[in-house]
Amino acid sequence: MSELNQHSLAALGELADEPVEQTGPMSNFVYVDISSIDRETKKITDPKPLTLSQAPSRAKQILRAGDVLVSMTRPNLNAVALVPEQLDGAIGSTGFHVLRSRWLHPEFLLRLVQSQRFVDEMSGLVQGALYPAVRPKDIAAFTFAFETPAQQTRIVAKLEELLSDLDAGVAELKAAQKKLAQYRQSLLKAAVEGALTAEWRQQHPPTEAGAQLLQRILTERRARWEAKQLAKFQQQGKTPPKDWQKKYPEPVQPDTTNLPELPQGWVWASVEQIASDERYSLSIGPFGSNLKVSDYRDAGVPLVFVRNIRSGNYGGEHTKYVTQEKAVALAAHSVAAGDVLVTKMGEPPGDADVYPDDQPPAVITADCIKIRCWPGLVKPEFLKAVINSHIGKRQIEPMTQGVAQKKVSLGRFISLAVPIPPADEQVLIVQKLIAADREAAEQLAAINLSLKQSTAQRQNILRAAFAGQLVPQDPNDEPASVLLARIRAERAVTPKPRGRKVKERN
């Protein structure tokens, strides 16, 4: 508050015009609610044309061009916007506090409610846990250094100049972010279809083609199953029954419909075929009854959530744990270094990561899938690349089911087709992907740092603007304190308009 001019200190409420009409729509209308606002650009980007019969109960406020809308819900997200000319007469949600004042330039007001001081003060006044919000009187009580209309115009012009340059820089940074994401997908496509190593492949004929590698593993898988069965018969003192080998559970074949043709030496395999024959090498997270929030501890065996897989970050201060005894009970859902983890729910499901070597054994939670690969058949990092590529996404999309949230079952996921290159080619592909990822991560970190600095610079500019430090005062202007005193005197003798009460529609 020390930065503010105490002589011209005003509250938003004392400069507001008459209450906003709350009659709601009388015919088909355009509706503006909180979801209509782009929080990044602070603009109304998604107004919704509705019929009168579709009017939500919150569709009450008649908006005028120049109104500034401030979302009262979750003020920390700062969903604010200026009503443009083309939306004059639109209907606004009662979730907005509408700021309208003949004494405040609309753009000046819009920038004021974007300032960090406004966001911080409103965030400190929220009430409610499930639906945190501020009240209209909280917004109306926000104080700031009042400026004359002429000075406001000069401040707005300077802000437009400075912030336009800043916005242009941010747009370039975000375009670079998008290009990096596109590059990553292009690289994955080239890797899993063989284009990334096409030249190398011509000069290095495989000693064991993908088909031979797969067949060798499948043969070994069956032989190990038969050995276990024979050992079981012997332990039980039984003679193996006739045709007992026919009971071997063949892993599901891959469905390669509409998938690209593979390079020579590669072969398609299903997730089930490439998984280890160890017990629980393919599993999903435990059902809610087996792992509850009450089981969480502050130390012990760490839990892995969907958020960990998506971010690639494990451990840290927000990690939840279970006791060693509980981890033993959840052994079917255990995770070790090198396991491939996949999100089975989300928008969309199917993000994959490899559990890192530097993390201790853990337990996956609900909505996660674990794949432990057969050693020597497919490298975990290559499987991760396949699932995250267009080949994986194309197959997972039709597997999803569920109305509220898309999800993929383990029963469907095991049939997902995975291209298998020769072992030495897999090694090279993974090396190239890791190197490219490292370079992209460095670029992304630099971009994120620049975006963070841009956000800080924006707030520095706004802070200077509303502390009277951005634009010099014109000595020919009437002092803001004198104008403010006159406005207060005028309002003191003018009866306060009363809002029109309207009966709710049934």
Residue 340 has pLDDT above 80, yes or no: yes
Pairing between strand 352-354 and 282-284? unpaired
User: In angstroms, rounded to a whole number, what is the distance separating the alpha carbons of residues 114 and 76?
Assistant: 10
Residue 505 has pLDDT above 50, yes or no: no
Which of these, 318, 427, 419, lies nearest to 379 by C-alpha position?
A: 427
Structure confidence by residue, pLDDT tens digits, 262-307: 999 999 999 999 999 988 999 999 987 899 999 999 999 999 999 9
Torsion of CA 31, 33, 36, 41, to 10 degrees: 130
**pLDDT score, position 288:** 76
Query: In terms of residues, how long is the chain?
Result: 506
**pLDDT score, position 506:** 33
The rounded mean pLDDT for the chain is 91
CATH architecture, domain 6-147+489-493 = Alpha-Beta Complex (3.90)
200-210: average pLDDT: 93
Orientation of helix 423-466 relative to helix 380-388, angle to 10°: 60
**For tokens 């495989």, what's the residue?**
206
Cis peptide before 348 (omega within 30 of 0): yes
Measured in degrees and rounded to the nearest 5, phi and psi for residue 98 equal -95, 120
**pLDDT score, position 494:** 67
pLDDT band at 412 (very low <50, low <70, confident <90, very high): confident
User: In angstroms, rounded to a whole number, what is the distance separating the alpha carbons of residues 237 and 110?
Assistant: 84
| Spatial CB neighbours of 443, under 8 Å, sequence gap ≥ 6 | 176, 180
Q: Where are any strands of DSSP class E within 51-166?
A: 59-62, 68-71, 80-82, 91-93, 96-99, 143-145
Structure confidence by residue, pLDDT tens digits, 52-90: 999 999 999 999 999 999 999 999 999 999 999 999 999
Is the CB of residue 25 less than 8 Å from the CB of residue 93?
no
User: In angstroms, rounded to a whole number, what is the distance separating the alpha carbons of residues 462 and 112?
Assistant: 8
User: In angstroms, rounded to a whole number, what is the distance separating the alpha carbons of residues 492 and 470?
Assistant: 32
What do you get for the CA distance between the two ends of the chain, in Å? Answer: 47
- Judged by DSSP in three states, 425 sits in helix
User: In angstroms, rounded to a whole number, what is the distance separating the alpha carbons of residues 168 and 457?
Assistant: 14
Query: Of all helices (H) and strands (E), which one includes residue 167?
Result: helix 149-193
> Which class does domain 208-232+252-421 fall in?
alpha beta
Please indicate whether residue 18 or residue 80 has the higher confidence score (pLDDT): 80
Q: Do domains 6-147+489-493 and 208-232+252-421 have the same CATH topology?
A: yes
pLDDT band at 430 (very low <50, low <70, confident <90, very high): very high
188-213: average pLDDT: 94
User: In angstroms, rounded to a whole number, what is the distance separating the alpha carbons of residues 155 and 151?
Assistant: 6
- List the domain boundaries for the chain: 6-147+489-493, 149-205+427-477, 208-232+252-421
HSE (CB half, 13 Å, CA atoms) of 470? Answer: 24
pLDDT band at 499 (very low <50, low <70, confident <90, very high): very low
220-248: average pLDDT: 93
